[in-house]
Amino acid sequence: MRRSVARKINRKNRTPLRKGDVIFYVALIALPLVQIAIFYFGVNFQSILMAFQKSVDGVFIFDIGPNWNKFVADINTKEFWVMIKNSILVYIFTSLSGTVLATIFSYYIYKRRTLSNLFKFVLFIPSILPGILLVVMFQMFVSSGVPAYADLLFGIKMPDYFSTDFATSDIRFILVTIFSIWISFGGQVLIYTAAMDQIPNEIIEAGKLDGTTSFTEFIHIILPSILATVGTFLIVGIASIFTNQNNLFSFFRPKDMQNTEYTFGYYMFSIVYSGGAGSSGYCYAAFLGLLTTSIVAPLTLLARKLLSKVTS
Amino acid sequence: MKKVKLYTEPSHLKEKPSFATVAIFILLAIYTIGLFTPIVWAIVVSFMDKNDYSNFFGVSRAFNLGIKYTFDNYAFSWENLKILTTTTEMEYGIPDLLMHSLIYALGSAFAFTLCPVIVAYLTARFKYAFSKVVYTFVLITMTLPIVGSMASEITMLHNLKIYDSIPAVFILRFNFLSIYFLILHAQFSSIPQEYTEAAKVDGASNLRVMGQIIIPQSLNTIVTVFVLSFISYWNDYQVPLLYFPSYPTAAFGIYDFVQNASPEGNYIPIQLAATLIMALPIIIVFIIFNKKLRVSVSMGGIKG
């Protein structure tokens, strides 16, 4: 009896099926569904197939041997593990430290402190300007402008820190990562500020009446209120461990790159870039994609579950 | 008798700046200076005579009297800097790169906006069981990350014989699996059904209700989605590089001019001038839509 009542109530919330409405609905949704069928399901299914294939004269044949052997050969090299280390370091520095900085800066802007509107505008700029433009300016300024300032102001002769003649891969990796952190957290600041604006003023005022300082307000009221938003960014960032190229392709030509500067995301991109369609490189890229998805997907779901437990 | 005005404190109470506040201000100031310094340096140097500029005289000479500033770098870049494509071995100058970027960014943004508008409208306004399926599917795809499908996507374009064409990418962009679907769905859901019912009583068709009543009420959001997408596609150079290498875009032009500079273009002032020309359209878009974009980023974030 109760189930039939619930069903009736549920049906009331649904749009009644009228012929004209259904024809209109089907006609408009058909093309997007066809696109999804081909370019989401079709592409991902093909990707799974390619992971178990090799290329012979541009034709894909089922044979997991070459992909697996290449992967085993890769993981037995020192460079592969340096690449994994770089990827994790980039995640830690950009996602984690970027998130910490973004949260603190957001609180400053939320409290409408001195020049907060200017800082809000400035933080948004890296999200709008082409990344390659910022890379060019940053690289030329560090290579050319900074040595000029150092020489003119302090009499210090500085080298070009991006030149392979001078810089080691560690120095270049540090410079590139600093750049990545520098441009990474601007968009987050705006989102966190908006999330903080959603906190009811009554809660803030009640805290003030109880004698909270800015620090205790930040720790006990602000952070818990925006935890879901911050957590979502960190969770989405987990996949970026394997996709983040750390702007390496923008900074350096592939032939000038050293293996110890790679991240996993750059390595996968370089396989696709240098391989060409129909090549075994594409099959290997699909194999690596399948492997990383099988690691990242459960990790992301687990992190989401943990976050929902913490925030509930 | 004088009325006593009750004092109500604002919700953001003004406090004396603490040490932490001052420290954060200094950090933000350093960030602002750090961001603007290379940009200002690049703009100033781009106007310097290419022979006048040397590695040891950057901005410091900018304030010297008698320094020669010129638009020649911009004129030279516009007329002479070319990219040679490896696929068709054709040369493209800056005007061609800007045209390719405009076509790619406009078409992709249009496709990427149109599809979620249509699907979000249908699923929000027509409460069929299938609408819920579509909504749940979008949530699942956003939750479940899939890595490394680029090789398969390019292979699919080859198989369909539409590789290396800009319109093929429009087809790729015509999908609704993005945060914008959720934003638009919420937007369309918030418009009362009474509008639709009243229009239908007056004899309006479904298409007319969608096009003349519901969508105009959401035009602000739709335009913002379009502009954000346009900026994103204008700035993208890796997809054009891999998906249609025969039609290089402005963003790729910036990369190529700097990384593979020809002898006549291998001067920093000229490279910076070329870079700034190609970034100018997006800077203009940013100036025009600045406030709207900042609001939309926060809106997207909350919805996410």
Residue B103 has pLDDT above 90, yes or no: yes
d(CA B9, CA A209): 11
Domain B82-303 is in which class?
Answer: mainly alpha
Q: Is the CB of residue A190 less than 8 Å away from at least one CB of chain B?
A: yes
Q: What are residue A165's phi and psi, to 5 degrees?
A: -65, -35
Instruction: State chain B's mean pLDDT as an integer.
Output: 83
Residue of B nearest to A147 (CA): B56
Q: Which residue of B has its CA nearest to A189?
A: B298
**Which residues, in sequence order, are CB contacts of A206 under 8 Å at separation 6+?**
none
- The residues in B 89-148 lying below 8 A from A, measured between CB atoms, are 115, 118-119, 122, 125-129, 134, 141, 143-148
How far is it, in rounded angstroms, from Cα A303 to Cα A231?
Answer: 9
- Whole-angstrom distance, CA of residue A233 vs CA of residue A191: 10
The contacts found for A298-307 with CB under 8 angstroms, 24 or more apart, are A299/A238, A300/A235, A300/A236, A300/A238, A300/A239, A300/B143, A300/B144, A300/B145, A301/B143, A301/B144, A303/A234, A303/A235, A303/A238, A304/A235, A304/B143, A307/A227, A307/A228, A307/A231, A307/A232, A307/A235
Residue in B with minimal Cα distance to A159 = B55
CA distances from B270 to A210, B45, B248 (A): 61, 9, 20
Is B289's pLDDT higher than 60?
A: yes
Contact A158, A147 (CB under 8 A): yes
Inspect the interface and report whether the beta carbons of B294 and A190 lie closer than 8 Å. Answer: yes
Where do the structural domains in chain B lie, given as residue ranges? 82-303
> For chain A, what are the domain ranges?
67-311
Beta-ladder partners of A53 = A62
Among candidates A43, A214, A238 on the partner chain, residue whose Cβ is nearest the Cβ of B153: A43
Q: Does A169 touch chain B (CB under 8 A)?
A: no
Q: How much is the pLDDT for B60?
A: 47
The type of residue at A67 is: N
Could you tell me if B15 lies within 8 Å of chain A, comparing CB atoms? yes
Q: How far apart are CA B174 and CA A40, in angstroms?
A: 11
| Band of pLDDT at residue B295, cut at 50, 70 and 90 | low
Of the residues B114, B147, B179, the best mutation for testing chain A's interface (the one with the most A CB atoms within 10 Å of its CB) is: B147
Largest CA distance in chain B: 89
* A180 Cβ contact partners less than 8 Å away, ≥ 6 residues apart: A90, A93, A94, A244, A246, A247
Residue of B52 and A9 predicted with greater confidence: B52
Using DSSP, how many helices (H) and how many strands (E) does chain A show? 17, 2
What whole-number distance in Å separates Cα of residue A249 and Cα of residue A269?
9
CATH number for A67-311: choose from 1.10.10.10, 1.10.3720.10, 3.30.230.70, 3.60.15.10.
Answer: 1.10.3720.10
CA-wise closest residue to B179 among B146, B145, B142: B142
ipTM: 0.83
Chain A: give the shortest CA distance to residue B214, in Å. 15
Q: Which of B225, B198, B218 is nearest to B209 (CA)?
A: B198
Share of chain A above pLDDT 90, in %: 22
pLDDT digits (tens, 9 = 90+) for B236-287: 988 999 999 999 999 888 888 877 766 666 788 888 888 888 888 888 888 8
Q: Looking at the complex, report in whole angstroms how far the Cα of residue A78 sits from the nearest Cα belonging to chain B.
A: 23
Judge whether residue B5 has pLDDT over 50: no
Is the sign of the CA dihedral B55, B56, B58, B61 positive or negative? negative
Residue in chain A lying closest to B60 (CA): A149
Q: Can you tell me the distance from the alpha carbon of A267 to that of A83, in angstroms, rounded to the nearest whole number?
A: 8
DSSP code string of chain B: -PPPPPP---SS------HHHHHHHHHHHHHHHHHHHHHHHHHHHHTB-TTT-BTTBSGGGGGSTT--B-SHHHHHHHHH-EEE-TTT--EEEHHHHHHHHHHHHHHHHHHHHHHHHHHHHHHHHS--HHHHHHHHHHHHHHHS-----HHHHHHHHHHTT-TT-HHHHHHHH----SHHHHHHHHHHHTS-HHHHHHHHHTT--HHHIIIIIIHHHTHHHHHHHHHHHHHHHHH--HHHHHH-TTS--HHHHHHHHHHT--GGG-SHHHHHHHHHHHHHHHHHHHHHHHHHHHHHHHHHHHH-
CB contact under 8 A, A136 and B286: no
CB within 8 Å of chain A, chain B residues 284-303: 286, 290, 293-294, 297-302
Opening angle at CA B244, ends B241 and B249, nearest 5: 60
* Chosen from B86, B97, B149 to mutate, greatest number of chain A CBs within 10 A: B149
Give pLDDT tens digits for A268-312. 998 988 887 778 889 999 999 999 999 888 888 888 888 888 776
Q: 48-77 in B: which are within 8 Å (CB) of A?
A: 55-60
pTM: 0.85
How far is it, in rounded angstroms, from Cα A189 to Cα A197? 12
pLDDT tens, position by position, A91-147: 888 887 888 888 999 999 988 888 888 888 888 888 888 888 888 888 888 887 777
Average pLDDT, chain A: 84
Crossing angle of the two packed helices B268-303 and A186-197, in degrees rounded to 10: 30
A41-53 pLDDT tens trace = 999 999 999 999 9
Residue type at A179? F
For chains A and B, count residue pairs whose Cβ atoms are closer than 8 Å. Answer: 286
* pLDDT tens for each residue of A160-195: 666 655 556 677 888 888 888 888 777 788 888 888
Contacts of B304 in chain A (CB under 8 A): 191, 229, 232
Amino acid identity of B286?
Answer: F
Residues of B whose CB is below 8 A from A214: 15, 18, 20-21
Mutation target vs B (from A24, A104, A137; most B CBs, 10 A cutoff): A137
Nearest to A251 by CA among A140, A116, A119: A140
Give the model's pLDDT for residue A249. 86
